[in-house]
Structure 1
Amino acid sequence: MNAKNLDPKTVASFGDEWSRFDQSGMSEDEAEKVFKEYFAVFPWHTLPDAAEGFDMGCGSGRWARWVAPRVGRLHCIDPSEAVEVARKKLAGLGNVAFHRASVDEPEIPPNSQDFGYSLGVLHHVPDTAAAIRSCVALLKPGAPLLLYLYYAFDNRPVWFRALWRVSDGFRRIVYRLPAGLKHAVTDVIAAAVYWPLARLSVALEKLGFGVHGIPLSYYRKHTFYTMRTDARDRFGTPLEQRFTRVQIESMMREAGLREIRFSEGAPYWCAVGVKAE
C-alpha cells in the first residue's frame, strides 16, 4: 500500500483496537441506539433503490452491520487488519465487499457511489481536508456523505477545553505504550474516569439537574464496554485532530458538498452534505 494520507502507527493501533474490541460485547439495543445517534441526520429517504455506497474506515464493521441490510451494496474500506475482523463479523451479509485500502486509494471508481459515510476516522489521518475530498470524489452528484469528526469543544466553556488539554497531554504518553499495557491503562481510565462521571451524571439527572456540562456525561446511557472501547480509542491512538463546527463546514464545502446539516446532539460533530450537481 503506497497511500500517502495515512499514519502507519495509527493504522496499526486501530488494527489492534478493533481486533480486541470487535463490538461483540455490545448488546443489540445499545448497538442500535449508538447507530441511530450517529446517523440521526442521514437522509435515508433520498437514496435510490438498491443504493451502492461505502463505509470509509469501517473498523470492525459496527456501522456496516446496520447499513448493509438497508442498501443494495456496501463497500467496507479500511487500511488496517480490522477489515478482516469486519469480514468475519459480516460474513452472513452477501452484499458487502471488503477492501484493505486507504482513503486516497480506495479501490472503487470515482463518481460511482450513491452514498458514503466515515465516522470517527478522518480526524486520524494527516490531511483531513484532503481525505474528505477523496470521499466526495467517489460519490455521484447529488449523493450524501455523512461525517463524524472529533470536535474542538467549540460549544464548551473555557474550563472544559483546559481540562481536555490536560487529558491530551496524558494521551501523548499512553499511546506510546506497548499494546498490552496500553489496553490495561485505558481500561483503568474507563473504570476510574469514564464510569464515575457517567454514574454521577445519571444521579444528577434523576435529581432534575442538567448534565450537559459534565465531562463524559454522554456515557450515562451507555455500557462499560462502550466506555472501554472509547477510552482505548481516545487515549491509545497516536494521531488525533480536532475541528470546530465552522472548520468542518468549511472543509465540506471546499470538498464540493452542499446542503450541509449538523446534528445538534452528541456525539459532536456529525454532519451530512450532498455532492454538488
Structure 2
Amino acid sequence: MTATDQSRTKSTYSLQWNQFRILRPEEDRATFRNRTGLTAADLEGALVLDAGCGMGRYLRMAAELGARAIGLDLSEAVRAARELTADLPGVSLTRGDLLRPPFAAGSFDHIYSLGVLDHTPDPRAAFLALARLLKPGGRIVIWVYPRERPLLEAVVRVHRGVSTRLPVSWLLTLSRLMAPVGGWKRRLMASPRRLVNRAGVALHLLTYGVSMHPDPEVRVCDTLDWYAPRYLSRHTREEVLAWFGAAGLVEVVDLSAGQVFHHEGQGHGINLAGRRPG
C-alpha cells in the first residue's frame, strides 16, 4: 500500500466511524450471529480478534458474550471503538495493518473480519496473515463482497473509477444527497406492479452502490463505505475457498447458506469459516 493509498484508507474510515456512531442493537446482534456463527458458549473466556473493528459494534457484541476481545484497525476509528466499549473491561484496541498484524502467531481462539479484507490492497495476503494468528483448533470467519454479473461489475468500475478520485468530504456530501434514492429503490423494487418493480431494478443498476438500508443515516454511511475507499475488491466463492486451503485450514463451512437478512437490501457476500488443525 502506497503512502497515498494508506492515507486515503485512514481518512475514509477515521471520518466514517467517528462521524457515524450508529448502533442498532437488534440488527447488530442478528448480523453478528449470522456472519460469525459464534455463540456465548464459543466466546466465554476466549481470546478473540476483531480484524478491522471500525467503530467497534461487533467488538462489543463479542465482549458482551464473554470474550476477551481485541479490536484491530488501521484508522482513527479505534477512538470511536474505545468510547463504545469503555464500560467493558475485557476489551482492548490496537491500531495496525491487517497485512502486518502486530500479534504473535498462534495467539487467538477466534478471529473474524467482516467486510474488511476486501478494502485491503491484497485480501489473500491479509487473510493468510490473520490465519497465522490462530491457535491450534482456533477458528477464523470472514465476509467479503461477491463478484457480480459482468454488467454490474462494469457499472461498479465506472462509478468507482470516478469516486475514488474525489475527496472523501465531497463523497460524504454526495452520499447524503443520494440517501433518498436508496429509499426510492426499496419502495419501487417492493412493488407488486411489474413495470414499477422493473423501474426499481433499473434504478438500482444505475445507482448500485447507493444503500437501501431502512435507516437514512445508515444509508449515508453505507453509501460512503462503497464509494470512498481506495480498495473495494469482489471475489468468487472458489477463490476464497482457495485462501482457506492455502492457509491449511479445515472444516471450512459456508455461513451464508440459509441466512435470513435483517432487512430487505442487506448485502449478500462470501461468508466462510474454517479451523486451524490441532
Counterpart CA distance in 2 for 1:66 and 1:199 is: 31
1:202 aligns with 2:182: no
2:97 aligned partner: 102
1:231 aligns with 2:228: no
Counterpart CA distance in 1 for 2:226 and 2:67 is: 33
* Structure 1 residue 115 displacement after superposition: 0.4
Task: Give the 3-state SS of the residue equivalent to 2:108 in structure 1.
Answer: coil
Counterpart CA distance in 2 for 1:175 and 1:190 is: 19
* Structure 1 residue 49 displacement after superposition: 4.2
* Structure 1 residue 141 displacement after superposition: 1.4
- Paired AA for residue 258 in structure 1: V
Checking the alignment, whether the CA contact within 8 Å between 1:3 and 1:102 is kept in structure 2 is no
Query: Can you list the C-alpha shifts for 1:179-203, whole angstroms capped at 9, x where unaligned?
Result: 32110112223322x2222222333
TM-score by length of 2: 0.82
1:187 aligns with 2:186: no
* Equivalent residues, number: 259
Matches within 5 A, 1:68-79: 68-79=63-74
1:117 aligned partner: 112
Counterpart CA distance in 1 for 2:212 and 2:72 is: 31
**1:130 aligned to 102, 125, 132, which one?**
125
1:37–1:184 Cα change, 3 Å: farther
1:34 aligned partner: 31
1:189–1:167 Cα change, 3 Å: farther
* Structure 1 residue 269 displacement after superposition: 1.3
1:169 aligns with 2:158: yes
1:269 aligns with 2:258: no
* Structure 1 residue 221 displacement after superposition: 6.7
* Structure 1 residue 84 displacement after superposition: 1.1
Counterpart CA distance in 2 for 1:37 and 1:222 is: 19
* Structure 1 residue 45 displacement after superposition: 7.0
- Paired AA for residue 185 in structure 2: L
Query: Can you list the C-alpha shifts for 1:139-167, whole angstroms capped at 9, x where unaligned?
Result: 111111110111102xxxx4xx4134223
Runs of 5+ in structure 1 lacking a partner? none
Higher RCO (C-alpha under 8 Å, 6+ residues apart): 1
Query: Can you list the C-alpha shifts for 1:35-76, whole angstroms capped at 9, x where unaligned?
Result: 33323xx24377374111100010100211111111331110
Task: Give the 3-state SS of the residue equivalent to 2:136 in structure 1.
Answer: coil
Query: Can you list the C-alpha shifts for 1:196-238, whole angstroms capped at 9, x where unaligned?
Result: 2222233349xxx9xxx8957xx76742232222111011111
Task: Give the 3-state SS of the residue equivalent to 2:137 in structure 1.
Answer: coil
**1:246 aligned to 228, 238, 250, which one?**
238
Runs of 5+ in structure 2 lacking a partner? 260-266
1:47–1:32 Cα change, 3 Å: closer
TM-score by length of 1: 0.83
* Structure 1 residue 116 displacement after superposition: 0.5
- Paired AA for residue 82 in structure 2: R
Task: Give the 3-state SS of the residue equivalent to 2:157 in structure 1.
Answer: helix
1:9 aligned partner: 8
Task: Give the 3-state SS of the residue equivalent to 2:251 in structure 1.
Answer: strand
1:167–1:195 Cα change, 3 Å: farther
1:90 aligns with 2:85: yes
